[in-house]
Amino acid sequence: MDRGQPDETTVRAAVALAARAPSVHNSQPWRWEVGARSLHLYADRARTLPATDPLGADLIVSCGAALHHLRVGLAALGWRAKVHRLPNPALPDHLAAIEFMPFEPSASHVALAAAIPRRRTDRRAFSSWPAPDEILQQLVVVARAEGVEAHVVTGKARDELLAAIGKAADVQAADPAYHAEIRQWSGVYPGAAAGVPAANIPAGSHQYGNLRMREFAPGSLLQTRQTVLGEDAGTLLVLSTSSDDDLSRLRAGEATSAVLLEATAAGLATCPLSQPLEVVETRELVRDEVLGGATCPQLVIRVGWAGFNADPLPATPRRPVVDLLRDQEQK
């Protein structure tokens, strides 16, 4: 990088933090190119999941989460990211161009970046204690700051959302291609750079009360003895946008990262749930029956307290920075 710009070590550190972002099946469908005064995010279509994500929506949301992780990491390292989203209509996979401005980070910026390596997708049952309203409202605020609405789903709308989740699971369960994809991307062997390891998949039932979680390959993660599976008090939030295009999905991914990191910093457990939005019929059900047809759903996030005395979750694997980052001239 030129003088007055972050050096190579700083850029690599920020990209390493961005690589910790959540993604559908931990597929990590992104790549980065670095120029003299900019950094560029691209969708990696080679990592598309056609059976799970036929619309490509999960892929763009995943890339948006990586973009926000990058922004948070740069801020903690002393650089504000100026982001140009979808900068080149002729290159739809070019999702963002990032320029850098010197920046004095505050303690809150550093604390948010510190949440990145601590954040986990917790697929276990949560405690019966509900998340505090003040924290939930703060999650709504941080999503809105990214241009995305976060809806805390309760009452009849929650019942409709749970029904949509179950129906999507039934539709996908009848698809052999979906099963093949699940086998490819979950229960991965130690040393794999992507996918969901068995150590991060709960053993036994994936049904928590009326909530039906996605079925992965058999897992080895034990539930806490204190957790009663029928009394999971996890709160469901739906992130939505006014339109349903790639820019909206990218923004939704950034809001996903903001919500997950804020919840992690507050000590809460989290789990993104994309399954009900991967099936056209249930995506429409969520839009119409949960959101009243007013906005377009992009992701469901489950938030709550981890089970009492729950063991810390291991980190899921990540692709090395050397595989993600290259100079622009290296085509």
117 CA to centre of own chain: 14
Residue tagged 């993600």 (tokens): 324
- Give the predicted TM-score (pTM) of the model: 0.96
* DSSP per residue, 114-183: HHTTT--B--SPBPSSPPPHHHHHHHHHHHHHTT-EEEEE-HHHHHHHHHHHHHHHHHHHT-HHHHHHHH
Each residue of 231-290: pLDDT tens digit?
A: 666 999 999 999 999 999 999 999 999 999 999 999 999 999 999 999 999 999 999 999
Instruction: Confirm or reject CATH 3.40.109.10 for domain 133-304, answering yes or no.
Output: yes
Name which residue leads in pLDDT, 224 or 306: 306
* CA end-to-end span of the chain: 18
Please give the average per-residue pLDDT across 102-112, as a whole number.
96
Mean pLDDT estimate for the chain: 94
Residue 331: the pLDDT is 46
Q: Give the integer Cα–Cα distance in Å for 134 and 280.
A: 34
Reference 84, options 97, 99, 68; nearest CA is 97
Return the residue matching tokens 């933090």: 17
Q: Where are the domains of the chain?
A: 8-118, 133-304
Query: What pLDDT band is residue 206 in, cutting at 50, 70 and 90?
Result: confident
Please give the CATH number for the structural domain made up of 8-118.
Answer: 3.40.109.10
d(CA 64, CA 73): 14
Q: Count CB neighbours of 104 within 10 A.
A: 8
Please report the pLDDT score of residue 225 as a whole number. 63
Q: What is the pLDDT of residue 181?
A: 98
pLDDT above 50: residue 37: yes
Within this chain, domains 8-118 and 133-304 share the same CATH topology: yes
